[in-house]
Structure 1
Amino acid sequence: MEFQEVVRRRRMIRSYDPDRPVDPAVVDRMLDNAVRAPSAGFSQGWAFLVLDTAADVERFWAATTAPGAGEPDSWLRGMRTAPVIIVPLSCKQVYLDRYAQDDKGWTDRDEARWPVPYWDIDTGMASLLILQTAVDEGLGACFFGVPPDRIAAFRETFGVPAAYTPIGAVTVGHRVTDPGAAGSPKRRARRPAEEVVHRGSW
């Protein structure tokens, strides 16, 4: 697919065909593209947890849903139809270690040197490449957050080291007709570039 078409067609897809599996080779391509994202100091302080069996996907939803939450709403019912979940994780320590090396010299490892948490930003850019690759492969995908109070349960369920933080998760699957959740592009207009781009000054 031509690049502009990939950009134009990318949407957060919240409902999938549960009877159509995702080709493992396509998942591999998503991850191969993800690791080509830019990273500060070429630190590459990211990791990706791939959940591509029904049992692992169900364990994810069990770990990230609060006990006693009741029946899932329409958003969660749709998201649970995805056959694949990829969880991008960032590792701050990798960045602090990298910038303490001789060519950077921040041996104090002071986080105040960082204007923003590049470990999360870089992992977010890798996540966007996963989303774009899904579109290029004719699939749907959705990036969403893991509730802060469920991160400990997520770590325990999947044995995730404490140094790695899930910045979100990405569902992947074959899209189905979806009216769109409230606030989605199907119900809200995308802001045009002229509203958000400022040239020379604000």
Structure 2
Amino acid sequence: MEFRDVVRRRRMVRNYDPDRPVPVEVVERLLGHAVRAPSAGFSQGWGFLVLDAGADRELFWRATTPEGQGMTGWLAGMRRAPLIVVPHSNRSAYLDRYAEPDKGWTDRDPARWPAPYWDIDAGFAALLMLLTAVDEGLGACFFGIPPQRVQPFRDAFGVPAEFAPIGAVTVGYPAPDRRSPSLERGHRPLESVVHRGRWTTSV
């Protein structure tokens, strides 16, 4: 598939065929592409939790679903995904890397960073998984873990304290899905978001 087609076809898929697992070799390509993402100082401070066993996926949904939220609507379709990958960021890996002699930030002060590149780089990795899924004829969706459910998630899977989940990615073969109301907004035209030479404000 041409890269331009991969980009144009990418969308968040929220319903999957539960009877078609993601082939092992495709899972390996998803992860292999994820670790090709850029990272500040080549710190590579990420970690990926792969959940492809039914019991592990069920545990994920129990741990991350807010109490009182039923398994209906979009969540019911998401739960059919045969694969969940949870990308994590590790701030310490970046602070350690930039304390090395070629960088010299020996105080390891996070205030030196203009943005949390550890989270950004893990997001880059997640995007490469989303694009790879399209290229493989799969669907995928990136979504957040509710803040109040992060600790239950950590406890359920033994996630080390230095790793923070930035979200989760469901992957699988798409099933018929209702059109998300968000898509009705359409893509904003380039002229409304691109500023050349000087920032302009549209009236």
Whether these two folds match at TM > 0.5 is yes
Task: State the TM-score bracket (shorter-chain normalisation).
Answer: over 0.9
Change (3 A) 1:70 1:46: closer
- Determine which of 188, 197, 202 is the counterpart of 1:200: 197
Q: Deviations over 1:22-78 (max 9, x none)?
A: 1011011010000000000000000100000111110000000133x1422311111
1:51 counterpart = 2:51? yes
- Please tell me whether the aligned partners of residues 75 and 181 of structure 1 are also in contact (alpha carbons under 8 angstroms): no
How many corresponding residue pairs?
A: 199
Structure 1: which 5+ runs fail to align? none
Give the letter for the 1:190 counterpart.
H
Distance 1:70 1:88 in 2: 24
TM-score where L is the length of structure 1: 0.96
* Paired position in structure 1 for 2:77: 78
- Please tell me whether the aligned partners of residues 14 and 180 of structure 1 are also in contact (alpha carbons under 8 angstroms): no
Q: CA deviation at 1:178?
A: 1.4
Alignment RMSD, CA only? 0.9
TM-score where L is the length of structure 2: 0.96
Q: CA deviation at 1:179?
A: 1.9
Distance 1:110 1:178 in 2: 46
* Paired position in structure 2 for 1:124: 123
1:113 counterpart = 2:112? yes
Aligned counterparts, 1:18-167, within 5 A: 18-67=18-67, 69-167=68-166
Distance 1:79 1:156 in 2: 22
Distance 2:11 2:101 in 1: 42
Q: Which runs of 4+ in 1 moved over 3 A?
A: none
Give the letter for the 1:53 counterpart.
A
- Please tell me whether the aligned partners of residues 139 and 175 of structure 1 are also in contact (alpha carbons under 8 angstroms): yes
Distance 1:197 1:74 in 2: 36
Q: CA deviation at 1:193?
A: 1.7
Distance 1:134 1:145 in 2: 19
> Percent identity at matched positions?
65
Distance 1:123 1:70 in 2: 28
- Please tell me whether the aligned partners of residues 85 and 170 of structure 1 are also in contact (alpha carbons under 8 angstroms): yes
1:189 counterpart = 2:186? yes
Give the letter for the 1:45 counterpart.
G
Distance 1:3 1:12 in 2: 18
